[in-house]
Structure 1
């Protein structure tokens, strides 16, 4: 369990970077960002998979490929399209903390899986997580109202964040269940196979991304050098290494606990956002961070107590 928690923490730290990328590249559309990230992820995965392919080629079934393409489409491409749109239209904090509901949604969906604690025993930790999410949302929308932002743009961004939440809830549960039922690949192998499947889908996405005019503001610059650097960093760090850590965590933790680990993505995204904006968290933001950490810690203790019995 200790290793699983460490892997979940590492995955969260790397995944938090994906919330910063759209903010660094305001001149590029979510379609361009998603296509570029995952074409690069597919290329990196193909290179790393090549030495293993002679051994793996007979192990990958048609059922595995179908699962890989389903998971890649919803959990990678669709998720990041929504997330990039949410960050660009609503900001890092609203996007990260709406997606931060994932520990609750994944736990609720996975509450009947083998090894999961009853929801009645998780009520306390989930209440702390929910309270943290309420705090941050109150702060975000109060601050947006005070600054006189475009509420329609913010509303579209919030809708995109909800879409990202739904996409990743499905992915987290479906991926964990598939690995538990058909666990004949290592975490690294599954991550690389996912990368290849995602890359194939991203090539198809790159066609409309290249043809459609980018819907950017008049003052947004299209810095192609920064575009390449950021997407390489995200493809290597968040997609290749982060997904490998997450698959390793999914193998070692029950679904209700792995769902709680996703909260670290939210916390790291917030930290990166504060550093980018050169400010400290406001009081409600700080309260949300404390509540989220307390909820995860309480859940870890409950699962550790059950494992020792």
Structure 2
């Protein structure tokens, strides 16, 4: 039993907070919805393979920026009055790491290594985010999460081995793995920073933060537009440009607008060590979409990696559940 001042005692008993339980449930549902929508981004490079990853990123985020500008315009004056300089700085870097640069790397990974490889590698973001989140005040201790991290590391070995042993004379699978790992680094940075921004920020709603992210990302895409056009290899027919515009707009609405809105809402409901685990849903849907697109059965190492990853997330969730149901009650004065 914990030590306490004389005449007082600290009692540890299991407790259940209905508000916290419903908050966690809503957070998990938002994370699942975001993952289902984000999983579709892995299909976009396959739908418009004649366009470069930079063009895909610029097209998607120009559309995202335009839609965000239209939606935030009616209350722009109110939002502009409360946003601070540090918020604009955070928005710039978050947009770069979580959107612009990230999607260029994801598109490159998909074109070089395939949808399944890319989505599974990105599914190991929970390891990095959990390690970082365990340093937060009141977080689950890292030692309690070691079984979860071990399972996730084993899954990463499965993916890396498959990428290195798959027949590919040009070494494209290896490059796909490199691009995917770089994208993983970018998104880990984004996930941690974005979650902490939303936790400390009470003057802006999660919805407004999503729209402001769209505005900044759209500005970055506008700056990169001349580079994307100059870097174009070959000409495209009007039908190809129409398909490109449709895919860009679709991904902007489905993944960037609605997916980001659900993710930002989730970030305010779950601790950082659980936030990272929610990326499992993007992996689940990404692999499912990829396998369906390629019209094949999952490979053995893909199934093994996915099973290990599920075990990792379930183990992490169990640790958080045990912590949330055993809380330290306020000090009781026995002399009273």
Shift of 1:149: 4.2
Query: Is the CA contact 2:45–2:111 (under 8 Å) kept in the aligned structure 1?
Result: yes
Task: Please state whether the residue corresponding to 1:307 is helix, strand or coil.
Answer: helix
RMSD: 2.0
- Counterpart-to-counterpart distance in 1, 2:104 and 2:84: 29
How many aligned residue pairs are there?
A: 302
- Counterpart-to-counterpart distance in 2, 1:258 and 1:115: 15
Q: TM-score, normalised by structure 1?
A: 0.91
Q: TM-score, normalised by structure 2?
A: 0.84
- Counterpart-to-counterpart distance in 2, 1:257 and 1:180: 14
Shift of 1:215: 7.8
Q: Does 1:308 align with 2:319?
A: no
Task: Please state whether the residue corresponding to 1:279 is helix, strand or coil.
Answer: coil
Task: Please state whether the residue corresponding to 1:207 is helix, strand or coil.
Answer: helix
Task: Please state whether the residue corresponding to 2:144 is helix, strand or coil.
Answer: coil
Q: Does 1:20 align with 2:20?
A: no
Per the alignment, residue 47 of structure 1 pairs with 70
Q: Does 1:88 align with 2:88?
A: no
Larger radius of gyration: 2
Q: Does 1:229 align with 2:252?
A: no
Task: Please state whether the residue corresponding to 1:121 is helix, strand or coil.
Answer: helix
Match of 1:160 among 149, 172, 179: 179
Q: Output one character per residue of 1:91-122: Cα deviation in whole Å (capped at 9) or x when no partner.
A: 11222222222111111222211342111111
Q: Point out where structure 2 has 5 or more consecutive residues left out of the alignment.
A: 1-23, 327-336
- Counterpart-to-counterpart distance in 1, 2:268 and 2:305: 29
Q: Output one character per residue of 1:217-269: Cα deviation in whole Å (capped at 9) or x when no partner.
A: xxx99822221121111101111111111111111111111011112212211
Task: Please state whether the residue corresponding to 1:41 is helix, strand or coil.
Answer: helix
Per the alignment, residue 294 of structure 2 pairs with 277
Match of 1:292 among 309, 313, 328: 309
Q: Output one character per residue of 1:182-234: Cα deviation in whole Å (capped at 9) or x when no partner.
A: 23222111111111111111100111111223389xxx998222211211111
Moved over 4 A (4+): none
Query: Is the CA contact 1:38–1:198 (under 8 Å) kept in the aligned structure 2?
Result: yes
- Counterpart-to-counterpart distance in 2, 1:232 and 1:186: 24
- Counterpart-to-counterpart distance in 1, 2:80 and 2:25: 33
Query: Is the CA contact 2:163–2:174 (under 8 Å) kept in the aligned structure 1?
Result: no
- Counterpart-to-counterpart distance in 2, 1:115 and 1:37: 38
Counting only pairs closer than 5 Å after superposition, residues 88-167 of structure 1 correspond to structure 2 as 88-142=111-165, 144-145=166-167, 148-151=168-171, 153-167=172-186
Q: Point out where structure 1 has 5 or more consecutive residues left out of the alignment.
A: none
Query: Is the CA contact 1:83–1:161 (under 8 Å) kept in the aligned structure 2?
Result: yes
Shift of 1:17: 1.1
Query: Is the CA contact 2:121–2:159 (under 8 Å) kept in the aligned structure 1?
Result: no
Query: Is the CA contact 1:26–1:221 (under 8 Å) kept in the aligned structure 2?
Result: no
Match of 2:280 among 263, 266, 279: 263
- Counterpart-to-counterpart distance in 2, 1:215 and 1:66: 37
Q: Output one character per residue of 1:27-77: Cα deviation in whole Å (capped at 9) or x when no partner.
A: 000110000000000011111112232321211112211111111012110
